[in-house]
C-alpha cells in the first residue's frame, strides 16, 4: 500500500506539472493586458512598467514559467494583480466555503439517491421505479441555475424561510450557516442526486441478477439480509467512482451557483479572476482544483481495496 501511494503521489506531481504548463500557455492566448486592467484607465508609463516588472511579465515566456514553477514549489503562487495579496492566502480563504457547500450537497444527494435508487431497483417496474426514473431525467435536464432561481423566488421571496444569498462561516454561527447553505446545497444536490439515483439503480439491478444472489435467495435468506449483505456491498463499488467524481467537481467550484447565491468559494473566485484578468489568482485556483481532483482519485483507489478484497493495489 505504501508503495502504491508513493507511486500515485509521484504521478500526481507530474500531472500537476502538466496542468501548470497548460494553464500558463492558455493564459497567454487570452486577449487583454492584465496590468492595464489592474491599473484602470488612468496611469503613467512608469507605474505600468514597474508593475509589469514586479509581475515578471517583461521577461520571456520560458523565464516567466520557470520563475512561476520555482516559486510554486515553495508554496509561493504569486500575488494578485488586483489586491496585491498572496494568491495562496486568497485561495485558502475561499476553500472552506467551497468545502462546506460541496460536502453538504453530496450528503444531501446521498440521502436522496441511495434509498430511491435501491427501492427503484428492488421494485423494478413499480410506481416508485417510474418516479425515480422521472426524477433522474428531470435532474439532469433542468439547468441548475433555473432551479436555484426558482428556489430563491419560493423559499426566500414568497415564503421568506431562507436568505436569498450570502455566506456565514460554520465556525462563526452554525445556525446561520445552515440557513445560508440550504438553498445552494439543495440546488446542487438535486442534480447530483439525479445522477447518483440512475447509477445506483443500474448497479443494484446488475447485482440482483448475479448467481450468488439467486443462491442466497434459494437458501431461504430474508430479502433484507440478501440486500444488505450481498447486494449493496458489491453494488457500491462502481457507485463510489461516480460519487467521487461528483464530489471532486463540486470541490472545483460550481461557478454558476456560487455566483447566483453570492457564495465566496473557489468557483466565484475563478469567475472574478477571469473578469479581472487576474492571472496569478486564476492559476492558483486551477492548481488547487487539480490537486483536489487527484487527492479524491487517490482516496477512491484506496477505498476500492477496502470495499472489495479481490482488488489489489500495486
User: Which of 117, 109, 96, 92 is closest to 247 using CA atoms?
Assistant: 109
26-35, 129-138, 148-157: least confident range: 26-35
What is the structure's pLDDT at 24?
Answer: 82
d(CA 91, CA 80): 11
For 115-119, what is the mean pLDDT? 87
Give the pLDDT band of residue 5 (cuts 50, 70, 90). Answer: confident
Other C-beta atoms lying within 10 Å of the C-beta of residue 179: 14
Question: What are 94's three cell numbers?
Answer: 475561499
Rounded-to-10 torsion of CA 168, 169, 172, 173? 50
Residue 313 pLDDT greater than 60, yes or no: no
Q: How far apart are CA 68 and CA 280, in angstroms?
A: 9
Lowest mean pLDDT among 161-175, 214-228, 257-271: 214-228
pLDDT of amino acid 273: 85
The answer to whether 313 touches 4, Cβ cutoff 8 Å, is yes
Residue 16 has pLDDT above 70, yes or no: yes
pLDDT value of residue 37: 67
| 276/261 Cα distance (integer angstroms) | 20
Taking all residues of the chain, what is their mean pLDDT, rounded to a whole number?
A: 81
| Domain residue limits, the chain | 15-76, 92-264
Higher pLDDT, 33 or 159: 159
CATH superfamily of 92-264: MetI-like (1.10.3720.10)
**Residue 287's pLDDT is what?**
86
42-54 per-position pLDDT tens digit: 666 777 777 777 7
Identify which has the larger pLDDT, 44 or 155.
155
pLDDT for 74 beyond 80? yes
1 pLDDT more than 70: no
Beta-carbon contacts of 32 under 8 Å, excluding residues fewer than 6 positions away, are: 277
| Least reliable range by pLDDT among 107-111, 177-181, 224-228, 286-290 | 224-228
125 or 57, greater pLDDT: 125
Q: What is the pLDDT of residue 108?
A: 92
Confidence class for position 260, pLDDT limits 50, 70, 90:
confident
pLDDT of residue 314: 59
Give mean pLDDT, residues 176-205.
88
Label residues 296-314 b or e (16+ Cβ within 10 Å = b). Answer: bbbebbebbeeeeeeeeee
C-alpha to C-alpha distance for 1 and 16, rounded to whole angstroms: 22
Can you give the three-state secondary structure of the chain, one letter per residue?
A: CHHHHHHHHHHHHHHHHHHHHHHHHHHHCCCCCHHHHHHCCCCCHHHHHHHHHHHCCCCCHHHHHHHHHHHHCCCCCCECCCCCCEHHHHHHHHHHHHHHHHHHHHHHHHHHHHHHHHHHHHCCCCHHHHHHHHHHHHHHHCCHHHHHHHHHHHHHHHCCCCCCCCCCCCCCCHHHHHHHHHHHHHHHHHHHHHHHHHHHHHHHHHHHCCHHHHHHHHCCCCHHHHHHHHHHHHHHHHHHHHHHHHHHHHHCCCHHHHHHCCCCCHHHHHHHHHHHCCHHHHHHHHHHHHHHHHHHHHHHHHHHHHHCCCCCCC
* Between 97 and 83, the higher pLDDT residue: 97
- pLDDT for position 82: 78
The model's pTM is: 0.81
Amino acid at each position: 500500500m505504501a508503495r502504491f501511494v508513493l507511486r500515485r503521489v509521484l504521478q500526481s506531481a507530474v500531472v500537476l506539472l502538466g496542468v501548470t504548463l497548460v494553464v500558463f500557455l492558455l493564459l497567454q492566448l487570452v486577449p487583454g493586458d492584465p496590468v492595464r486592467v489592474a491599473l484602470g484607465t488612468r496611469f503613467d508609463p512608469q507605474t505600468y512598467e514597474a508593475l509589469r516588472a514586479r509581475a515578471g511579465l517583461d521577461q520571456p515566456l520560458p523565464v516567466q514559467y520557470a520563475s512561476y514553477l520555482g516559486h510554486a514549489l515553495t508554496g509561493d503562487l504569486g500575488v494578485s494583480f488586483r489586491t496585491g495579496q498572496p494568491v495562496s492566502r486568497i485561495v485558502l480563504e475561499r476553500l472552506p466555503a467551497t468545502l462546506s457547500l460541496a460536502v453538504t450537497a453530496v450528503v444531501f444527494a446521498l440521502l436522496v439517491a441511495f434509498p430511491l435508487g435501491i427501492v427503484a431497483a428492488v421494485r423494478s417496474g413499480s410506481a416508485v421505479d417510474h418516479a425515480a426514473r422521472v426524477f433522474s431525467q428531470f435532474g439532469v435536464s433542468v439547468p441548475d441555475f433555473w432551479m436555484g432561481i426558482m428556489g430563491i423566488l419560493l423559499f426566500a421571496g414568497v415564503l421568506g424561510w431562507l436568505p436569498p444569498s450570502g455566506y456565514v462561516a460554520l465556525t462563526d454561527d452554525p445556525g446561520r450557516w445552515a440557513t445560508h447553505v440550504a438553498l445552494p446545497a439543495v440546488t446542487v444536490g438535486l442534480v447530483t442526486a439525479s445522477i447518483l439515483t440512475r447509477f445506483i439503480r443500474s448497479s443494484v439491478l446488475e447485482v440482483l441478477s448475479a448467481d450468488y444472489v439467486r443462491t442466497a435467495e434459494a437458501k431461504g435468506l430474508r430479502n433484507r439480509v440478501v440486500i444488505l449483505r450481498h447486494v449493496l456491498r458489491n453494488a457500491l463499488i462502481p457507485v463510489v467512482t461516480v460519487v467521487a467524481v461528483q464530489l471532486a467537481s463540486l470541490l472545483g467550484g460550481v461557478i454558476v451557483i456560487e455566483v447566483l447565491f453570492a457564495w465566496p468559494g473557489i468557483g466565484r473566485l475563478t469567475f472574478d479572476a477571469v473578469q479581472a484578468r487576474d492571472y496569478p489568482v486564476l492559476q492558483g485556483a486551477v492548481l488547487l482544483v487539480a490537486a483536489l481532483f487527484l487527492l479524491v482519485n487517490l482516496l477512491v483507489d484506496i477505498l476500492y481495496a477496502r470495499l472489495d478484497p479481490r482488488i489489489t493495489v500495486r
